[in-house]
Amino acid sequence: MSSFIIYPAIDIRGGKCVRLVQGDYNQETIYNENPVEVAQEWEAGGASWIHLVDLDGAKAGHPVNDELVGNIARSVNVPVQIGGGIRTLADVERYMELGVSRVILGTAAIEDRAFVEDVLAKYGDKVAIGIDARDGLVATRGWLETSEVRAEDLAVELAAKGAKTFIFTDISRDGMMGGPNTEAIANLARISGQTVIASGGVSQMSDLTRLAGHVNEGVGGAIVGKALYIGNIDLAQAIEEIRNVTAPN
């Protein structure tokens, strides 16, 4: 059986660890002034990956907190992935030089297909495609705009160009603590034939076990944010439970 990875999320805005509700920059909660400390705490709790988002970068259209991301990458001994405002090859190369293990391309997947195909050709599995959908249609620019492209169509097209990992967010579920859209996530994995990481809506342990039940269909993990910060999910316990759920019989 494939492994299912829990990715603790650190969303960065103004150099601080924050959470937004459904991507709304006016609905922000600051959880910690020092994201480096947060990353170290998640590593100590057993995290095998850490998920970073440059919220300022997503809005600005270029990396803003890249120095801080590099500090985080150097401060932990587990790989980190970063998304938010990565639109040029220079952005990707900069993050690779800073020690990031995987970059996440979102808006660019819709707006600059040639760039995405170039990055996939050059960096392969060091690239994840972030597909954020509202009512099945891909949203861009920090969720401020919605395209006419269906999530499944984009995944199939980019899988054919070499994309191995997708991060899927149902925006309606993000930050709402109502559970992820497991059906849509598993469906995307089946249709694309690639690994899909769930993002948005994970609020309790049962959400993770439900997602992990689809690991053999390609659901390879879940990004967890608010539920960890408010104590609904204990990271170390969750990792242990998922290990038991996905262990071969």
Residues noted as catalytic: 11, 132
Helix (H, G, I), strand (E, B) or coil at 139: strand
**Nearest residue to 130 (alpha-carbon basis) of 9, 233, 2:** 9
- Please give the helix or strand (H or E) that residue 109 lies within, else none: helix 107-111
**Nearest residue to 109 (alpha-carbon basis) of 65, 56, 169:** 169
Structure tokens at 44: 């100590």
The CA distance from 38 to 229, in Å, is: 10
The CA distance from 65 to 207, in Å, is: 31
What radius of gyration, in Å, describes the C-alpha atoms of the chain?
16
Distance of CA 123 to the CA centre of its chain: 18
